[in-house]
Amino acid sequence: MPHPWQASFISAAAPSAEGDPAPYFRREFEVAEGLRRAVLRVTALGIVEPYVNGVRVGDEMLAPGWTSYHHRLMVSDHDVTGLLAPGANAFGAIVGEGWAVGSLTWENRRHNYADRPALCAQLELHFDDRVEVVGTDESFRVGTGAVRANGIYAGETYDARLEPDGWNRSGFDDSGWARAVPFDWNPETLQTPTAPPIRRIEELAPKAVLESPDGRTIVDFGQNISGWVRITVEGEPGRTVILRHAEVLTPAGELETETNRTAAATDRYTLRGGGEETWEPRFTFHGFRYAEIDGWPGEVSPESVHAVVVHSDMVRTGWFESSHPLVNKLHENTVWSMRDNFVGVPTDCPQRDERLGWTGDLNAFAPTAAFLYDVRDLLGSWLRDLAAEQEETGDVPMVVPDVLRTGSTPTALWGDVAISLPWLLYQEYGDPGILRAAYASMTAFMRKVELMLDEHGLWSRGFQFGDWLDPDAPADNPAGGKTDPHLVASAYLCRTTRELARAAEVLGETEDAEHYTRLAERVRTAFRREYVSQAGRVVNESATAYALAIMFGILDDDQLATAGERLATLVRKSGFTIATGFAGTPLITDALTATGHLSEAYDLLLQEKAPSFLYPVTMGATTIWERWDSVLPDGTLNSTGMTSLNHYALGAVADWLHRVVGGLERAEPGWRRIRISPKPGGGLDSAWAAHDTVLGRAEVAWRLDAGEMHVDVTVPEGATATVELPLHPDRLVEHVEGGEYSWHYPASGGSGPDDITMDTPLREIQRDAAVWAAVLDVMRKHFPGVPIEAAGDHLADMSLATVAARLPEGADALKRDLKAALGQLSATDAGRQA
Ligand code: BGC
């Protein structure tokens, strides 16, 4: 039972202006003999750094994090028993501006929640017979110290000469400090956090200390991170070291700060002098890989600077690796973009004047996030903020917590995170309580959307983000891509109506379940009437339109083949460069896979020419970029004003890597049933995916070695798994329970017409005479006069793709003919068996 809250909020007397020093609060108190236990419970409007008797309390950074403060403000509990002793003791805290007070959004608006930093804390001293409370009130004093200025976007200015010695210990003379004044804040907002705190997670030593052509010192930490730089420096008092942060260098090798937009991202440290000094900022964070250092006494040595990686302290639960180094790097970049953007709130980016909880970015990325890390508590807490703000205004905000001045209206992918995220978290963790907690928010969102439908049931009105950042959208209008935004909206509505119907079913809300099932059917019918031809073409004929129609259950079975074929043709036509934005990218590789175009899915994955998944990797990216070509091939920035190098949304393809390349897929909520079905391709020889599910570790590793397939599987106790053994000559499917299993067998590779991809070596195709004959026929047509048959031996190790690449007119026509020939063969095969 927590002790009743007695403390009140306190602040300095005047509102804070941009660039004001941070308030330091302090009070001394007596501790009697017989103290059993002491707990400090602390929060702030701003960022709080608490001290007891001169010792920094706890290891949380940027506390209390960012929530929808006027509904929910988090209070951290710390056991401080060991820091207290009988007699005089002191409590102190510095409160920076943080999200509550400082500038937010590209409008750089201040005072979004409070007009000055305010502190609220109570120290509970537990004795055998009583609890004494030292709570913040007007008996506290407030002054200033070394923290001269601070802002999340701006950075921190610290003058070590101005730190009052001993301000946070007893015996300090605070007679020159002012009395703290009460600050009005509703105590009912105070809550115990459920999300993990933000901490320093890792430190990176410099990869290089560079001298730029302009003679500037730039440290390259080798990785785009969120956090800051810690310096150890020795020099004369009053000297100021300036650190400017950036994600990238200009082609000439100077610091390129354009991706920060108006965020100054600059820290300043003024030396106290008289020996070595170590410092790091604590009231800001930066998204950066490079730091330019100015004013350093002498030369910067690599030992004197470290990058401190700072983000929510989540437990890692998912891993992936393959034999393809660029794919591995793509995956690693995805993990980093997730880490860098989970600083309390799941954000769009960590560097520029946003760092906002954009709902659509998270919705696109959430399946990947839930595989990589345990996000239940963090996203659960974020969903509570979403619901609280939705209840206040009636709409799901575009960013949560909402600090935008423009109101929000219901949108697909962005707003409908209110439905898809709880549904996903329920799938991942298997707890219907997640749905119950979110149900009011889910249904409230859908009720709003229902009001926007036209007479047929299409979502054809109102603003939509559409297929945001479709690479073909005009630079100044990311929502203006190829695919009609209302087609995107209605397609997503087909998904969310069904998710909501199923959620209602799980919760026993029978009437709702029936209502939403009917609504789902109505929207699907309307979509098909408006956008789908009888044969299965989807108007717009864009990759995104097809991907959505295929993946959201909109098409009939007999339309899927046409749609899949059209999608594959589009993908081939664009030379396997990407043509989708936030809405289509998470689904396109799945849509290709589901319609029998695995080889195109791999070709899309492995393309290196821009725009593509791997282009940024070839350009040295260490995180996922906001735009497919945030950095142009000549190394200059795509200067559209919206070109962060650290946006996780397009990293959503990692979900496909986990499920299809690795082969690890959840088949029932909470991983009670698992589908293990790796689909080798793309010339990969191996892949490994592992996930710590709520039941325990699930893992698949497959490896192709000299024609032998090795598959190792771990299934957690309490789960069952269907294992579809990849490239098995008899297409063996095993059903197993918890345990570890291994199989190895000669890989069938290309022996059946269905198994052949463009990556299948000719040697494997030759194993099946009928298939080989069909392939030869096609080859002869495309290589007239070339004795393919005779060259068979010498070509045996080459894949179809390698052979096809020799065609002067390109491989597309050959691929089409092969597909048709093999399709025909497969149909005859099936006919024979039936
Ligand atoms: C953000 C995006 C976001 C979008 C929507 C951008 O500025 O960075 O990722 O979803 O705005 O308007």
Question: What are 491-546's pLDDT values in tens digits?
Answer: 999 999 999 999 999 999 999 999 999 999 999 999 999 999 999 999 989 999 99
Q: In angstroms, what is the span from residue 334 Cα to ligand 1's centroid?
A: 18
Q: Which residue has the tokens 């601070």?
A: 150
- pLDDT tens for residues 41-57? 999 999 999 999 999 99
The residue type of 206 is P
| pLDDT surpasses 70 at 463 | yes
Tell me the β-bridge partners of 190: 73
**Residue 105 domain-assigned?**
yes
Predicted local confidence at residue 796, as pLDDT: 67
Q: Is the CB of 349 under 6 A from ligand 1?
A: yes
pLDDT grade, residue 832 (50/70/90)?
Answer: very low
pLDDT grade, residue 753 (50/70/90)?
Answer: low
356 in the same domain as 292? no
Q: Kindly give the number of the ligand 1 atom that is closest to the alpha carbon of 582.
A: 10
Burial of residue 117, with CB atoms counted within 10 A of its CB: 0-12 exposed, 13-18 middle, 19 or more buried: buried
503 in the same domain as 381? yes
Question: How many independent structural domains does the chain possess?
Answer: 5
Q: In angstroms, what is the span from residue 478 Cα to ligand 1's centroid?
A: 9
DSSP annotation of 532 reads: B
| pLDDT surpasses 60 at 751 | no
Q: In angstroms, what is the span from residue 95 Cα to ligand 1's centroid?
A: 30
581 in the same domain as 504? yes
Name residues whose C-beta falls within 8 Å of residue 561's C-beta, 6 or more positions apart in sequence: 536, 595, 596
Predicted local confidence at residue 791, as pLDDT: 63
227 in the same domain as 103? no
Least reliable range by pLDDT among 159-168, 472-481, 609-618, 807-816: 807-816
Predicted local confidence at residue 642, as pLDDT: 85
**Residue 4 domain-assigned?**
no
Average of per-residue pLDDT across 145-168: 98
More confident of the two residues 115 and 792: 115
> Which residue in 51, 312, 109, 338 sits closest to 201, CA to CA?
312
pLDDT grade, residue 794 (50/70/90)?
Answer: low
**Residue 551 domain-assigned?**
yes
| pLDDT surpasses 70 at 827 | no
| pLDDT surpasses 70 at 213 | yes
711 in the same domain as 571? no
More confident of the two residues 816 and 496: 496
Of the three residues 686, 712, 746, the one that is the final residue of a domain is 746
Helix (H, G, I), strand (E, B) or coil at 359: helix
**Residue 83 domain-assigned?**
yes
231 in the same domain as 123? no
Residue 29 lies in domain: 10-193
**DSSP-derived secondary structure for 622-640:** SS--SSTTSB-TTS-B--S
CATH number of the domain at 391, please.
Answer: 1.50.10.10
* Phi, psi torsion values for 641, nearest 5 degrees: 80, -10
Distances in Å between the Cα of 306 and the Cα atoms of 227, 282, 465, 631, 769 are 11, 15, 40, 26, 62
**Residue 1 domain-assigned?**
no
| pLDDT surpasses 50 at 217 | yes
Nearest 5°: the CA angle 735, 739, 740 is 95
Q: In angstroms, what is the span from residue 365 Cα to ligand 1's centroid?
A: 14
Name residues whose C-beta falls within 8 Å of residue 651's C-beta, 6 or more positions apart in sequence: 330, 333, 334, 337, 338, 365, 368, 624
Predicted local confidence at residue 758, as pLDDT: 75
Q: Kindly give the number of the ligand 1 atom that is closest to the alpha carbon of 349.
A: 8
| pLDDT surpasses 60 at 385 | yes
pLDDT grade, residue 831 (50/70/90)?
Answer: very low
Which protein residue's CA is at the shortest distance from atom 3 of ligand 1?
A: 358
SS3 content of the chain, % helix, strand, coil (to 5): 30, 25, 40
Predicted local confidence at residue 763, as pLDDT: 65
Predicted local confidence at residue 163, as pLDDT: 98
Average of per-residue pLDDT across 651-675: 98
Beta-carbon count within 10 A of 53 CB: 18
580 in the same domain as 699? no
**Residue 345 domain-assigned?**
yes
Q: Is the CB of 457 under 6 A from ligand 1?
A: no
The token duo for 366 is 């959430």
Q: In angstroms, what is the span from residue 355 Cα to ligand 1's centroid?
A: 10
Predicted local confidence at residue 797, as pLDDT: 66
Q: Is the CB of 358 under 6 A from ligand 1?
A: yes
Q: Is the CB of 619 under 6 A from ligand 1?
A: no
Q: Is the CB of 467 under 6 A from ligand 1?
A: no
Which protein residue's CA is at the shortest distance from atom 12 of ligand 1?
A: 465
| pLDDT surpasses 50 at 4 | yes
Q: Kindly give the number of the ligand 1 atom that is closest to the alpha carbon of 360.
A: 10
Helix (H) / strand (E) element for 716: namely strand 708-724
Q: Is the CB of 650 under 6 A from ligand 1?
A: no
Q: Is the CB of 362 under 6 A from ligand 1?
A: no
Q: In angstroms, what is the span from residue 364 Cα to ligand 1's centroid?
A: 12
Cα separation, 242 vs 266, whole angstroms? 7
| pLDDT surpasses 80 at 773 | no
Q: Is the CB of 582 under 6 A from ligand 1?
A: no
pLDDT grade, residue 765 (50/70/90)?
Answer: confident
Q: Is the CB of 642 under 6 A from ligand 1?
A: yes
421 in the same domain as 329? yes
DSSP annotation of 294 reads: E
Q: In angstroms, what is the span from residue 347 Cα to ligand 1's centroid?
A: 10
Of the three residues 143, 162, 193, the one that is the final residue of a domain is 193
Of the three residues 312, 339, 355, the one that is the final residue of a domain is 312
**Residue 179 domain-assigned?**
yes
Burial of residue 618, with CB atoms counted within 10 A of its CB: 0-12 exposed, 13-18 middle, 19 or more buried: middle
Catalytic residues: 354, 626
Predicted local confidence at residue 709, as pLDDT: 97
Helix (H, G, I), strand (E, B) or coil at 704: strand
Helix (H, G, I), strand (E, B) or coil at 322: strand
Predicted local confidence at residue 833, as pLDDT: 42
Tell me the β-bridge partners of 39: 79, 124
651 in the same domain as 677? no
Which protein residue's CA is at the shortest distance from atom 4 of ligand 1?
A: 358
**Residue 426 domain-assigned?**
yes
Predicted local confidence at residue 767, as pLDDT: 60
Which protein residue's CA is at the shortest distance from atom 8 of ligand 1?
A: 348
280 in the same domain as 135? no
270 in the same domain as 414? no
585 in the same domain as 642? yes
- pLDDT tens for residues 404-456? 988 899 999 999 999 999 999 999 999 999 999 999 999 999 999 999 999 99
Cis before 611? omega within 30: yes
